[in-house]
Structure 1
Amino acid sequence: MAESDHDTVVSYDTPSEDNEKLEVERVFDGMEVPPWRKQLTFRAMVVSLFLGIVFSFIVMKLNLTTGLVPSLNISAGLLGFFFIKLWIKVILSSGVLPFTRQENTVIQTCVVACAGIASSGGFGSYLSAMSERTANATSAGSSQTTIEYKNPSLSWMIPFLFVVSFTGLFSVVPLRKIMIIDFKLTYPSGTATAHLINSFHTPEGAKLAKKQVRQLWKFFSFSFMWSFFQWFYTAGDGCGFSSFPTLGLQAYKYKFYFDFSATYVGVGMICPYIISISALLGGIISWGLMWPLIETKKGDWYSADSTSMSGLLGYQVFVMIAMILGDGLYNLAKALRRTLMELYVRYQGSNKFAVLPSVMSPPQEIPRISYDDQRRKEVFLNDRIPVWVAVTGYVGFAVISMIVLPHIFHQLKWYYILVIYLVAPILAFCNAYGSGLTDFSLASIYGILIIFIIGAWAGASHGGVLAGLAACGVMFNIASTASDLLTDFKTGYLTLTSPRSMFVSQVIGTAMGCIISPCVFWVFYKAFSDLGLPGSQYPSPYATIYRSIADVAVQGFSALPKHCLTFCYASFAVAILVNAVRDSINPKYSKYVPFPMAMAIPFYVGPYFAIDMCIGSLILFIWSKVDKAKADAYGAAAASGLICGDGIWTLPSSVLALAGAKPPICMKFLSRSTNARVDAFLNS
């Protein structure tokens, strides 16, 4: 799976001949792709600003209540299309510029970048954890004599976000070709968004395209109505179909259940089968074997009443991080090796057929490349973002951070920041790679890792709590924006949008978010005096968790439960070994070797989403067996419809929440014995 810039030596995997008839770009052949500067229109920026403000309020509300924020890519793409069409109708001018799918993609990118700061900015997690309210609530009843805190203020939140939010954009730009063209990562949300945008702009008269659009909207309608139906049964915690114990109550306790999520069923239909199987395998190993066995050691390996990182949570988080780092470092080394090999090929000078036999396939094995891949690759590689821009930007922001951040947080020394920026590209790559496989961004997990490293390094006596939380913010933003950028690059790749316009719109959206999000948070913070307190209207639950983690971190890694680091070393080694086995055996068998990155995510999250993905993969598999031609033609459209419908439902559900509307029914499941006790209590 390697490629050079010479068309004659391409050897990466390509779609089969059965799929070559799905040439979407032939449908758009008559439509000119505008230059990258013309994709960044004034009206696109105005619409992006408006939607960025709206989405920032939605994300902030979710952050401060449940702490769970869904992907907004699809919603942004849909509303961007709607508002530009409305703009054109209102203007009613013959000189109006045509609305292209590239402009639609730019709007989506800008809006998601803007609203993303409301999530990665830590207003519901590490930033709120610094406040006096959260500090007092977390340390109540403890033996702490002094409590570190830093209350929110626009005077430092805006500069802090401007310093840390752009670095992630530069960290993975040099690897965009490898991640999207060579590794062919799916980025399910980005792929679904691209299918949606393409469907909006498909020219009339393309028979296959029209059929694909009908399939997309059919599954979109089903997914949206199913999400709407489920909402009526979610009147409390643990209520609704998402908490349905489909495999029994004991299995449900260990997160083995089908939660009826159309999103992850769709993700399973887009991802390769081995990704879904890898995730399920990881869930079985962790929640089916490891965690139940470790629970038997409660009171010996870890405190019986421990619910923090010194308990079972410590195993779950750090074992997952170790496996992800092993997989990420292996693939990063593989990517760097590929880049060096391509540079070597270029260096051969006049002999354009010069190849390295150990990397390139023999000429007779060169596969055919579909028209779609040829066209998309041409546009994607045409407007290059020079490597020197990425390197200069990254180093520049690192230097600025080392100068500015210690003035905002005196506990955060410049050499702490230097270490963070040295390891950040590795963690950003890991997060972008994992997001490309499974659609999960684990930026918060990498932030927790940095809390432990910096908190333990600083220690309790030198402001380790605030230093750890501030360092978490740096890493959280870098890892989050890196995965977001590559997800958007995938959308741009599939819609023939220039990487330069994508990058610039991401920068503009991030700048908007660095101003809008703190102001939105400030409105909530000043309006609700109990914000961040347990039991309040806006409890900011993750703020308490992050504060507790920081309190444990200053004690060092010795605060982790017994044998936790041993499990971490083993997981790291297993991840590298599995990758080495896949790359060393015959390709005929290597496709059955699981991906450690996909296996690792359920270690913390749980296997329920993997069950959803496997059901999606099973649906596509059966469909392919029944009618392979239709499955190839409409599978991606159907999957995108499922993801889009569920994604769009987040908008009306958020509006209902903001309006104070609550579901009327709580559907919850009880064991027979518990149900008997409840009946006896009600009849007494």
Structure 2
Amino acid sequence: MNMEEAKEEKEIEKEELEGLPADHESEGPKRFQPWTQQITVRGIVVSIIIGTMYSIIAMKLNLTTGMVPNLNVSAALLAFVFVRTWIKLLHRAGIVSKPFTRQENTMIQTCAVACYSIAVGGGFASYLLGLNKKTYELSGVNNEGNSLRSVKEPGFGWMTGYLYLVCFVGLFALVPLRKIMIVDLQLTYPSGLATAVLINGFHTQGDKMAKKQVRGFMKYFSVSFLWGFFKWFFSGKEECGGFAQFPTFGLKAWKQTFYFDFSMTFVGAGMICSHLVNLSLLLGAVLSYGIMWPLIDRLKGDWFLESLQESDMKSLYGYKVFISVALILGDGIYNFIKILACTIINIHGRLKKKGLNKGEDGEEKPIEALKQNEIFLRENIPMWVAAVGYVVFAILSIIVIPFMFPQLKWYYVVVAYFLAPSLAFCNAYGAGLTDMNMAYNYGKVALFVLAALSGKEDGLVAGLVGCGLIKSVVSVACILMQDFKTAHLTFTSPRAMFVNQAIGTALGCLTAPLSFFLYYKAFDVGNPNGEFKAPYALIYRNMAILGVQGFSALPHHCLQLCYGFFAFAVGVNVVRDLSPKKVGKFIPLPMVMAVPFLVGAYFAIDMCLGTLVVFVWHKINSKKAELMVPAAASGLICGEGLWTLPAAVLALAKINPPICMKFVPS
């Protein structure tokens, strides 16, 4: 039996080598799997499981704070965990399974990321949710241009149809340019590169590392899931926050949202996000809820009427919303112009260079890089597929979207799809240099332009829907190019990658609306005082109102504050870019600072705890931290994130937690 097992293991190793780049010079590209074998039924099943789970988790993060960390590396890790477990279970049952290659790992990661990306960027917490009645009421019923005509309640049918129309166009926008961007221009795409390094590491460093990560993931997943279950028992009614409203720093601080809410999801997110992001959140929280809002609140009766409701846009709430908008726009416009300029300068510089088969320093490329290029270019995606796909989906959108939203005229959709490929190229190129997907900023530009052009009657809806149209094309094209980078470095067929991306997008257009309605039906989504605040829905609607009305939408003295914070956002970015790297890495990010201005400080406390854990872990054992932090963070996010599924089902079934825990002054 032992001899047979040893023989079988050798066979598996031999087969695995056929799917992996070999270290021996004799191994050539001929040994690699054809693209049809890289897409497996097993891989698609695992992709559906991970993609659906991450859609639920990403939707929760989106609807609570609007901050969703990059989960690409986490998805690659989970793919490895699932398939290795699958193979071992079959092996114990006496069934020989097909070996797990890095190509299959890449395929699963691509499909899962394409799926959950729709939940992140599909507008469920921003431009689409901004059309509902609750956001209309929060934006000020009496505001000019903000009429009942601009209200469209969320519906599974129209949301799913809209996503299928606008997301698939983006898949075809940049396919013809993949060789230029990945091979010729050698753009880095840091997130795609990091994912490729992780996947290559899994499949070359042996089982010892993988087993440690799997055990770590399972341990933290179990702790997080059970903690979510335990917390649920103490949150009886709406006013009973339980552990989620724990006054960690006292009741005065709690009233200003400074408390630790025991959310393992945000602690895990803080472990994945950089120290700079987490400290920027904390700075934004201190500046807004620690200093500004208490001071402006004292001016009640002078700057705004005392009789106004808390949620009225002419009260303190208006300052919170519009100053957040000013910070986001200042940061967004600066980075938009900077990356556009970098793109133009970089392209101009690279066009002057010759000898694309040589490295940056003029030396010949290593053999491995040449192999990567050969495999990446061997299985071409025909130009006519991209052209026909783009034209067909664009024509469908031009016909169907004006029927869904009569406020957005068909000729605006034609112009949008005419300009979209060039915008998608600029964004994908910029992301390749900086790892910043600026799709939302392209969407915001479209929002203001369409809101202003469409007039006061139609401008609000036209702006929000048009924003989603441009943003979706630009974002999906960028994510595909980033995944092409991962495919290039893991010796994966771009044709298989494209097919899997399409499967993931099709799946995401279905799972994203389903996960949204799981929360929308079970919880009070959009309530500014509740857990699911959906802050960006209000921000986007008010951006559209600004586009329609101009500055007349702002409360007293708000315009001056907005100018100040817009200038602050631009100034901070200028200082960071001009400072030496040692100084620049400590300068905060204005767009990140803007989130707690509207949401509150509690989640910034959670994420800073995550960053503290990572910092201490690295101080104690840096090598172990590097290995285990992605696994531990993924476990914490997935555990409590997955608990929201049974919690939502219980809420829909009207089953309330048995205990109410709240805190009052003695």
Structure 2 length-normalised TM: 0.68
Distance (whole Å) between structure 1 residues aligned to residue 105 and residue 147 of structure 2: 55
**Structure 2 CA distance for partners of 1:390 and 1:457, relative to 1, 3 Å:** farther
Partner of 1:226: 227
1:166 maps to which of 139, 157, 168: 168
Partner of 1:293: 295
Secondary structure, aligned partner of 1:314: helix
**Structure 2 CA distance for partners of 1:294 and 1:511, relative to 1, 3 Å:** same
1:411 maps to which of 402, 407, 411: 407
Distance (whole Å) between structure 2 residues aligned to residue 524 and residue 559 of structure 1: 31
**Structure 2 CA distance for partners of 1:148 and 1:649, relative to 1, 3 Å:** closer
| Code of the aligned partner of 1:504 | V
1:594 maps to which of 578, 588, 608: 588
The aligned runs of 1:525-564 (5 Å cut-off) are 549=542, 554-564=548-558
The aligned runs of 1:91-490 (5 Å cut-off) are 97-100=98-101, 102-111=103-112, 113-114=114-115, 117=118, 147=149, 159-169=161-171, 182=188, 184=190, 206-237=207-238, 239-298=241-300, 301=303, 305=308, 307-309=311-313, 311-333=318-340, 335-336=342-343, 339-340=346-347, 343-344=350-351, 346-347=353-354, 383=376, 401-402=397-398, 404-414=400-410, 416-417=412-413, 425=424, 454-461=450-457, 463-475=458-470, 477-478=472-473, 481=476
**Structure 2 CA distance for partners of 1:639 and 1:409, relative to 1, 3 Å:** closer
2:19 maps to which of 32, 44, 54: 32
**Structure 2 CA distance for partners of 1:648 and 1:101, relative to 1, 3 Å:** farther
Could you list the per-position Cα deviations for residues 386-432 of structure 1 after superposition, in whole angstroms to 9, with x for gaps in the alignment? 99899967788667645553344332124544676658659977997
Q: Superposition RMSD on alpha carbons, in Å? A: 5.9
| Code of the aligned partner of 2:506 | A
Secondary structure, aligned partner of 1:459: helix
Partner of 1:507: 502
**Structure 2 CA distance for partners of 1:260 and 1:61, relative to 1, 3 Å:** closer
**Structure 2 CA distance for partners of 1:448 and 1:592, relative to 1, 3 Å:** closer
Per-residue deviation, 1:239: 0.9
| Code of the aligned partner of 2:219 | K
Confirm or deny: 8 A CA contact 1:323 1:568 kept in the other structure: no
**% identical aligned pairs:** 40
**Structure 2 CA distance for partners of 1:648 and 1:571, relative to 1, 3 Å:** same
Q: Which runs of 5+ in 1 are unaligned?
A: 1-25, 356-362, 364-370, 673-684
Distance (whole Å) between structure 2 residues aligned to residue 282 and residue 149 of structure 1: 32
Partner of 1:580: 574
| Code of the aligned partner of 2:38 | Q
| Code of the aligned partner of 1:324 | D
Could you list the per-position Cα deviations for residues 345-374 of structure 1 after superposition, in whole angstroms to 9, with x for gaps in the alignment? 63367986768xxxxxxx9xxxxxxx9xx9
Confirm or deny: 8 A CA contact 2:57 2:642 kept in the other structure: no
Comparing 105-114 and 121-130, the one that deviates more: 121-130
**Structure 2 CA distance for partners of 1:627 and 1:383, relative to 1, 3 Å:** same
Confirm or deny: 8 A CA contact 1:332 1:429 kept in the other structure: no
| Code of the aligned partner of 1:506 | Q
How many residues are matched?
614
Distance (whole Å) between structure 2 residues aligned to residue 265 and residue 164 of structure 1: 34
Confirm or deny: 8 A CA contact 1:314 1:560 kept in the other structure: no
The aligned runs of 1:57-76 (5 Å cut-off) are none
Confirm or deny: 8 A CA contact 1:132 1:150 kept in the other structure: yes
Partner of 2:26: none
Per-residue deviation, 1:290: 3.4
Distance (whole Å) between structure 1 residues aligned to residue 472 and residue 54 of structure 2: 18
Per-residue deviation, 1:325: 0.8
**Structure 2 CA distance for partners of 1:347 and 1:581, relative to 1, 3 Å:** farther
**Structure 2 CA distance for partners of 1:648 and 1:486, relative to 1, 3 Å:** farther
Could you list the per-position Cα deviations for residues 183-239 of structure 1 after superposition, in whole angstroms to 9, with x for gaps in the alignment? 73599xx96x997x899x768964444434433433333333333322322333361
Q: Quick check: 1:671 aligned with 2:658?
A: no
Per-residue deviation, 1:329: 1.7
Comparing 139-148 and 644-653, the one that deviates more: 139-148
Comparing 162-171 and 281-290, the one that deviates more: 162-171
Could you list the per-position Cα deviations for residues 618-670 of structure 1 after superposition, in whole angstroms to 9, with x for gaps in the alignment? 22333333344443444444334333433443444445445554332232222
Distance (whole Å) between structure 2 residues aligned to residue 386 and residue 119 of structure 1: 28
Distance (whole Å) between structure 1 residues aligned to residue 50 and residue 131 of structure 2: 29
Distance (whole Å) between structure 2 residues aligned to residue 382 and residue 40 of structure 1: 16
Structure 1 length-normalised TM: 0.67
| Code of the aligned partner of 1:459 | G
Per-residue deviation, 1:322: 1.6
Confirm or deny: 8 A CA contact 1:138 1:544 kept in the other structure: no
Per-residue deviation, 1:338: 6.6
Per-residue deviation, 1:332: 1.6
Distance (whole Å) between structure 2 residues aligned to residue 548 and residue 597 of structure 1: 18
Partner of 2:5: none
Per-residue deviation, 1:76: 10
Q: Which runs of 5+ in 2 are unaligned?
A: 1-12, 21-32
Distance (whole Å) between structure 2 residues aligned to residue 615 and residue 490 of structure 1: 33
Per-residue deviation, 1:315: 1.9
Confirm or deny: 8 A CA contact 1:436 1:487 kept in the other structure: no
Distance (whole Å) between structure 2 residues aligned to residue 67 and residue 244 of structure 1: 18
Could you list the per-position Cα deviations for residues 233-266 of structure 1 after superposition, in whole angstroms to 9, with x for gaps in the alignment? 2333361323222223333333322222333333
